[in-house]
Amino acid sequence: MFRQKNNPVPTQGELMQASTRRITLCGLMLTAIAGMTGCTTADNGSAKASQAATAALAANSPFAQVSSLPYNMPPFDRIKDSDYKPAFEAGMAQQRQEARAIATNSAAPSFDNTIVAMERSGQMLSRVSEVFFNLVSANTSPELDQTQQEMAPKLADHKDAIFLDPQLFARVEQLYQQRSSLGLDPESLRLLERYRTEFVRAGARLSAADKDQLRKLNQQISSLTTQFQQTLLKANNDGAVIVDRQADLDGLTPEQISAAAQAASSRKLDGKWLIALQNTTDQPLLAQLKNRQLRERLYTASITRANGGSDDNVAGVAQIVKLRAQRAALLGYPSHAAYELEDETAGTPDAVNRMLAQLAPPAAANARKEAAAIQQVIDRQAKASHAKPFKLQPWDWAFYSEQVRKSRYNFDESQIKPYFELNNVLQNGVFYAAQQLYGISFKERTDLPVYQKDVRVFEVFDQDGSPLALFLFDPFARDNKQGGAWMNSYVPQSRLFGTKPVVSNNINIVKPPAGKPVLLTFDEVNTMFHEFGHALHGMFSSVQYPMFSGASVPPDFVEYPSQFNEMWSHNPQVLAHYAKHYKTGKPMPRALVNKVLAARKFNAGFETSEYLAAAMLDQAWHQLPAGQTPAAKDVMAFEAKTLQAASSGDGYVVPPRYHTQYFQHIFANGYAAGYYAYIWSDVLAKDTEHWMDTHGGLKRANGDLLRAKVLSRGFSADPSAQFKDFYGRGPEVEPLLEARGLTGVTK
């Protein structure tokens, strides 16, 4: 997942399209504006105001100036929790002054003194935002949580102060109306058009009274989504399952049992074992635990977290959905989904509904077949042991599915995990595939400061040996880290500022006790390749303007490079290079490799169905019009009704990947009405995988073309046009249907 819209600040590079977004405004530095066409005394006044705001920070603030570290990497060793709030306040003051300088500039609007000026400002606010909102997800603390709560409504108000400024919008609108006569290059023209679009979508054409109402809604929504995120982290921690007897952990490896004991000890629960919750409905250890009662406890803890009690998110969801629908109506849209999808590749809720409805029936049919095979195993084992048979339940699926896999393909996860050691997968798998395809190379840097001891830093070099980027890798789960996996940017690439990318991948792998190897499931291996696809999108960025940098595209395109990059996890050449036994170094036997590859479609009905159920739930929440959203007491009933309808009334075979109260993607991370993006993007990814296979696979010419046509372009061109430019035509659904075992479905 690419972390999106978790930052309410208008930030550089991915304005209202992705996580750290900045509207950059004129007059940041005298040296930057000295040669700008149309800058007048107003610009100089803005520069002085900018300098004053910077001086207002303590001399030793790590955010007052651009970092002097390589690639402007944040100086994590100098940053204290107490540094963020004053930097936010000074950064907002600076940016507002810069915005007013543009709005009141006595010179006629020009592309340079208005649009480029907006790209140039907000540097201090961007520096603090890019660090803060990344760390509040990856390595939070009570003080950071408190700062986030305080800043959320202020930052929302700050964004509105810029986008709802009528003088500033008037300058943008004037240039937009003159755009055909300005002689702009394609990227500059797109920048002007995007600014105008963002202003309009932010409410710039509303009446003064409606703008006031919009400001209130934005502040409330910002506060509520922040609260959702923080409550969920607490619910995940509080919902951990405590086990009193080691015998109940039968089925886990000694390393996993030791890790559970260590996790319990870290919470002063010596003599017990702790199973932490991952941020999905299905929990990884359900596939191994033999104790059915413990499986049920773990599953129940998963689906009931954040529903009632001190960690309740249900009431907050009701408010978020209500306020989003009201905001959409105020902006002239029938629903929040209609508002969001207008600016994404899909275009409309109807287009998304059609796609989901097309895929759900065959996925459910496959899942029912999988369930029938599992039930046969349950019944056969019950008969053999003279026990009473039971009906398959959600907490049984992973455990017995693994047995079906073993019997069908003659292997299980325990046989392959010794071949997937974390560092080997990273360096000889993830990095190796990128080296072969794009010609880039990696060197670990231990001389640069990190925010947590397990974080690793790699310098990335281009095919000609020149410096390209820094890559931060944060692999392990922690109590103060959000669940899931994601990519973030600390420094976005931009030729305007001469910056190179600093990006990170965050994963939540359970860390084993000291001295023990980190052995991965194949799903975790796939996640590493997926997230690195996002990282490549950020690192290969080659654009002029920060707004277009890296993975700043809509959600239903941003997942395309990441899902495509998954193909290399199971590519025979790449797999042979990294699938080596952690003790002996011997490669995975060819027979076992063939079994792993043959099993790729196994359980696809379950996996597709759980995803589609969540995507439909997202659409159901956000296609509600204002005045028709449920009260808090009716939230879970609405969810149940939605899931029942999504399964054509015959009961959903598998639960959704996320239930409402822990659906962080849509209530905290910017995928509201956009969770469908994964399968929409996967159409493009599977087309690209098919193209690669038919054009020679893992070779430089293929990588260079994809990089030139897609990965380097960010949002500087229409995403659909980027794909067609690479693929030669529009997307085709057949490769996706084949990959998911859904052949026979028509477009």
Query: Would you state the pLDDT for residue 50?
Result: 54
Beta pairing class for 456-461 and 441-445:
antiparallel
Query: Would you state the pLDDT for residue 51?
Result: 60
- For residue 701, count other CB atoms closer than 10 A to its CB: 10
Q: Catalytic one among 531, 559, 607, 639?
A: 531
To which H or E segment does residue 426 belong? none
DSSP-H helix ranges across 165-248: 166-177, 186-201, 208-238
Fold of 70-204: Glutathione S-transferase Yfyf (Class Pi); Chain A, domain 2 (1.20.1050)
Supply 733's token pair.
């659904």
Q: Catalytic residue at 531?
A: yes
Going 322 to 327 to 332 to 333, the CA torsion angle's sign is: negative
Mean pLDDT across the chain: 91
Supply 588's token pair.
């995975």
Measured between alpha carbons, how far is 436 from 700 in angstroms, rounded to an integer? 6
| 3 state DSSP class of 582 | coil
Going 330 to 334 to 336 to 342, the CA torsion angle's sign is: negative
| 156 pLDDT more than 60 | yes
Q: How far is CA 589 from CA 482, 595, 597, 602, in A?
A: 37, 10, 12, 20
Query: Would you state the pLDDT for residue 290?
Result: 97
Percentage, residues of the chain above pLDDT 70:
91
* 3-class secondary structure per residue, 271-315: CCEEECCCCCCCCHHHHCCCCHHHHHHHHHHHHHCCCCHHHCCHH
Q: What is the pLDDT of residues 349-391, one digit of tens each?
A: 999 999 999 899 899 999 999 999 999 999 999 999 999 999 9
C-beta separation of 21 from 7 below 8 A: yes
Measured between alpha carbons, how far is 395 from 413 in angstroms, rounded to an integer? 18
Query: Would you state the pLDDT for residue 737?
Result: 86
Query: Would you state the pLDDT for residue 648?
Result: 58
Query: Would you state the pLDDT for residue 49?
Result: 54
| 624 pLDDT more than 90 | yes
DSSP-H helix ranges across 633-714: 635-646, 664-667, 677-694, 700-706
Q: What is the pLDDT of residues 208-243, one digit of tens each?
A: 999 999 999 999 999 999 999 999 999 999 999 999
Average pLDDT over residues 518-536: 96
Measured between alpha carbons, how far is 315 from 218 in angstroms, rounded to an integer? 18
pLDDT band, residue 10 (cuts 50/70/90) = very low
State the residue for tokens 């710039």: 204
Backbone angles phi, psi at 61, to 5 degrees: -65, 130
| 515 pLDDT more than 70 | yes
Measured between alpha carbons, how far is 358 from 372 in angstroms, rounded to an integer? 23
Going 151 to 233 to 2 to 574, the CA torsion angle's sign is: positive
Q: What is the pLDDT of residues 461-473, one digit of tens each?
A: 999 999 999 999 9
- What's the gap between Cα 20 and its chain centre? 12
The single-letter code of the amino acid at 139 is N
| 3 state DSSP class of 240 | coil
- Parse the chain into domains and list their residue ranges: 70-204, 241-304
Going 555 to 325 to 137 to 239, the CA torsion angle's sign is: negative
| 621 pLDDT more than 50 | yes
| 3 state DSSP class of 517 | coil
